[in-house]
Structure 1
Amino acid sequence: MSAATAESGNTYLRAVADGYAADDAYQLRADWSLPKFLTVTPAGAYSYLHLAESFPHATIYRAGHVVELPRERATWLNTFAVNWQDKTRNFNDLVTAQDSPLQGVMVVHRGKVIYEEYPGMRPFDNHVWMSNAKPVASLLIAQLEEQGLVDVHKVVADYVPAAKGTAWEGIKLIDVLNMQTGLDLEEGPEQRANPSSSFARFMMAEAGLPNADGELQTHNQALLAIEKLHQPGKAFEYSSANTQMLGLIIEAVTGQRLADVIAERIWMKVGMEGDAQIGLSPQGNAIIHGLISSRLIDMAKFGMLYTPSWSEVSQTRLVSAEMLKDIQTAGQPANYLKGNIGPKLKRLFDEIPRANAYQWDAVFHDGDLYKGGMNGQGLYVSPDNDLVVAWFGNGFSSVPMERAARAVANAVESGLAQKH
């Protein structure tokens, strides 16, 4: 089936699972626009797999030997029932059905790939992480903190001189990490739809487009222009602007470009299968809040750094026990449901996570971690169960993958998996 004539959405993804015809690729690239990238469209799906054709980019280089994770398919996942509200889907059907928007799903348990499907992409394709990239920034900050180069209880202006005289000046790094700055930067459908909002202005500058006033700002100008809304530490107000500020702090402290920091501190130390990419704004800023692009298995390997199987992919422990404990305890539960994202995740998980912290959207009472990305990306890590669930998509399933990943972790923990 031709990609150009296939139906949009799920059928379209199945039609292009083995790659795009040349004519279709040219047309989809020509049809690309920022709104199509931010919504579920065929042009958006094409650019998710070909990020460098839509944004300038820098390469995040790998090095050393490739770690080949063993494959041992867990047959119980084929029929494992996932319940959500009044719906039930088998895990494998949820991933592979014709109506599924999922492009790739991987489950890694104790260092083995126990489930792997690519219904809408090829295993070697690089796919954009969207906001799954945010914990990369928090890991780099945590590493710098352990080295004594960063103090998360100091303020932004201590590291970024350009923040002096702006609303960012006195915000503590811990409040940036936990997305509770009190600035007028919350990200959600309402803010994206309002061209005058601070967040919309930030996004327009990121793409090199004029804002609602016709002004063409640099990415940093739009970021630093965000104003104060209320005191920090009051609510979980999700925003990619927080992560972008972390990127400026990382570059200021290391004196290196973000792509090189990620390569040297993470990508080259893990047995990744391929180089990754990171999108750049017109002024050259690496868009650390979402535009990392890699193979699915390499995103899963990043998740493994937070599990006991970290040694399967890295000779050096990159997420220390102290770092993991900080992530699991640093959030403020009282703030979680104040804002856009907390109530949404309460509905998707059918439970209230303990808190958010260090750029992770949900930290559960059992220590599990979840990070989601726009339009169907996800990374779920269960340190105690030595489990990672990673997925790419172009939309959302009738039974959310968030609920499915949590159910798989609970099944492994309870021993239910072994009974199937």
Structure 2
Amino acid sequence: MGNSSSAQAPQSSGEKRTPIQEFLKGFTQKQVEAYRANYTLPHLLKGGDDAVWWSLRTSEIFPTAILEAKQSVMELPKALQPAIGKIQADTKNFGSISLDEFMVHPESYAQGYLVVHNGKIVYENYQGMTEKDHHVWMSCGKILPGLAVDLLISDGKIDQEKTIGEYVPDFRDTAYGKIKVIDVMDMTPGLNSEENDQTRADPNSIATRLFLAEFGLTFQGKHERVKDVLKEAQVQNPPGQKLEYGSPHTQMLVVLVETVSEMPFAQFIDQRVYSKVGAESTLNLHLSPGGLACAHGIISSRLRDLARIGMLYTPSWDKIAVEQVVSPEIISRIQRGVRSRTFFRNGFDGPTFISRLNDDEVISNARQWDGVWEDGDFWKSGLQSQGIYVSPSRDLVIAFFSTNVPDDSAHRFLRPIATSGLFD
């Protein structure tokens, strides 16, 4: 789940906004009953109180594959730098304010913000959650299917220039089956399964039907299965010509990984990634009713453990993992896999990402990451304002959770932090 809307703050009762700090003490039974009664896709995607509840209690709603931490906790020591909280950004609706001010702004709905440098926590601020709470990643989750495919490429089991159908026989005669792996990785398949404000508002779109199937909600009175929805995608443009962001593309990668590895996606991620990490708590991969991991975004963890996943791409990987999971080759594929600046800006999604960042220096997207810069940094965002930013050269990771659709300005602090000179 990716691009967020620029609409005004929701006002209907189903999208009520409670001060985010009040949820630090949890939810009352009356609130939970109201949220469950309001369990509809529009409410959950608009970022109101209903969304805060399911973001923090996702495992109470979805079937969940729970990946236990296999290693002893590899602690992240603290070396706090107050200067980070003073860094300012031009927000969409609150003017130019500091990160510290943004975190406590009553309409930012920020929940947690974490900066890790050289394996040490240099900034940590929680507002609407505690350090021990799990929170949904939303589209930040897309980096895991991207990484899984890259691991299989490194294993020699996937050739990114071959089509999906060459690896997944069940999709050979579908539109996805005729698309190269790299075009699905880069969100350029040319199919009508893109995801944006318009398709999420269309009750008949592939993107909406995917979410309904995953959430256990009906489409035209029937429960659909995720794979059946993906099989109905149709050709819209020639592949490779245009960035057409979509969670269905990521779910196609999940199917690819399961078919090639011959194991459930959660088991693959456990064996190849999470079991190597000295995490603090579980990584929860939430499943559709049919059992497919909704890895395009419905993944949850503690904020520090999301940051640990980001650290796998930095020189400090050995401070949080017992084995190098992300090779220099995989990092290079991300950094050098970008298409052109013109390509990125030709369509809906590139300009949306540039606006989200308030930064026109980003080159393009690559391999499920939303943006890559000349200095080799890369970033992934999620609907309702979640984010993970990695700077391998600076040994820097920034991760944050929030629940805000109308104002996604939490992303606007990323480049000012990274380029502040504090980490050069």
Instruction: Decide whether the 8 Å contact of 1:10 with 1:100 is kept in 2.
Output: no
Write the mapping of 1:241-280 to structure 2, written as runs, cut at 5 A. 241-280=248-287
Return the alpha-carbon distance in structure 1 between the equivalents of residues 324 and 72 of structure 2. Answer: 17
Change (3 A) 1:117 1:224: same
| 2:23 matches 1:16 | yes
**TM-score normalised by L of structure 2:** 0.92
Task: Give the CA deviation at 1:8.
Answer: 6.8
Q: Give CA deviations for 1:245-301 in whole Å, capped at 9, x if unaligned.
A: 100011111111111111111111011111121111111111110111100000000
Instruction: Decide whether the 8 Å contact of 2:385 with 2:411 is kept in 1.
Output: no
Task: Give the CA deviation at 1:398.
Answer: 5.5
Gaps of 5+ in 2: 1-12
Instruction: Decide whether the 8 Å contact of 2:279 with 2:308 is kept in 1.
Output: yes
Return the alpha-carbon distance in structure 1 between the equivalents of residues 190 and 168 of structure 2. Answer: 19
Instruction: Decide whether the 8 Å contact of 1:104 with 1:116 is kept in 2.
Output: yes
Return the alpha-carbon distance in structure 2 between the equivalents of residues 408 and 10 of structure 1. Answer: 29
Task: Give the CA deviation at 1:202.
Answer: 2.3
Change (3 A) 1:276 1:87: same
| 2:178 matches 1:146 | no
Return the alpha-carbon distance in structure 1 between the equivalents of residues 169 and 322 of structure 2. Answer: 36
Q: Give CA deviations for 1:123-162 in whole Å, capped at 9, x if unaligned.
A: 1111100000001111111111111111111110111111
Residue in 2 aligned with 1:217? 224
How many equivalent residue pairs?
409
Counterpart secondary structure, 1:70 = coil
Instruction: Decide whether the 8 Å contact of 2:164 with 2:177 is kept in 1.
Output: yes
Task: Give the CA deviation at 1:352.
Answer: 4.1
Q: Give CA deviations for 1:344-388 in whole Å, capped at 9, x if unaligned.
A: 122233314111011000111111111001111111111111111
Give the one of 363, 368, 374 matched to 1:365.
Answer: 374
| 2:138 matches 1:134 | no
Instruction: Decide whether the 8 Å contact of 1:363 with 1:370 is kept in 2.
Output: yes
Return the alpha-carbon distance in structure 2 between the equivalents of residues 203 and 11 of structure 1. Answer: 26
**TM-score normalised by L of structure 1:** 0.92
Instruction: Decide whether the 8 Å contact of 1:9 with 1:40 is kept in 2.
Output: no
Return the alpha-carbon distance in structure 2 between the equivalents of residues 36 and 397 of structure 1. Answer: 14
Range with greater deviation from structure 2 (79-88 or 11-20): 79-88
| 2:337 matches 1:325 | no
Counterpart secondary structure, 1:285 = coil
Letter in 2 for 1:129: W
Task: Give the CA deviation at 1:22.
Answer: 4.0
Counterpart secondary structure, 1:169 = helix
Task: Give the CA deviation at 1:217.
Answer: 2.4
Return the alpha-carbon distance in structure 1 between the equivalents of residues 14 and 24 of structure 2. Answer: 14
Return the alpha-carbon distance in structure 2 between the equivalents of residues 277 and 19 of structure 1. Answer: 19
| 2:66 matches 1:51 | no
Letter in 2 for 1:331: V
Change (3 A) 1:35 1:112: same
Instruction: Decide whether the 8 Å contact of 2:15 with 2:46 is kept in 1.
Output: no
| 2:401 matches 1:387 | no
Task: Give the CA deviation at 1:99.
Answer: 2.9
Write the mapping of 1:332-411 to structure 2, written as runs, cut at 5 A. 332-333=339-340, 334-348=342-356, 349-395=358-404, 400-411=409-420
Residue in 2 aligned with 1:33? 40
Task: Give the CA deviation at 1:396.
Answer: 5.1
Range with greater deviation from structure 2 (26-35 or 306-315): 26-35
Letter in 2 for 1:388: V
Task: Give the CA deviation at 1:10.
Answer: 6.0
Residue in 1 aligned with 2:311? 304
Give the one of 75, 80, 85 matched to 1:78.
Answer: 85
Range with greater deviation from structure 2 (166-175 or 25-34): 25-34
Counterpart secondary structure, 2:19 = helix
Q: Give CA deviations for 1:27-58 in whole Å, capped at 9, x if unaligned.
A: 43343332221111111101100002222222
Range with greater deviation from structure 2 (389-398 or 220-229): 389-398
Residue in 2 aligned with 1:418? none
Range with greater deviation from structure 2 (238-247 or 324-333): 324-333
| 2:316 matches 1:282 | no
Residue in 1 aligned with 2:321? 314
Residue in 1 aligned with 2:4? none
Residue in 2 aligned with 1:189? 197
Change (3 A) 1:176 1:413: farther
Identity of matched residues, % = 34
Change (3 A) 1:396 1:169: closer
Gaps of 5+ in 1: 1-5, 416-420
Residue in 1 aligned with 2:9? none
Change (3 A) 1:302 1:36: same
Letter in 2 for 1:94: F
Instruction: Decide whether the 8 Å contact of 1:130 with 1:373 is kept in 2.
Output: yes
Return the alpha-carbon distance in structure 2 between the equivalents of residues 414 and 267 of structure 1. Answer: 27
Residue in 1 aligned with 2:206? 198
Instruction: Decide whether the 8 Å contact of 2:390 with 2:397 is kept in 1.
Output: yes
Instruction: Decide whether the 8 Å contact of 1:94 with 1:399 is kept in 2.
Output: no
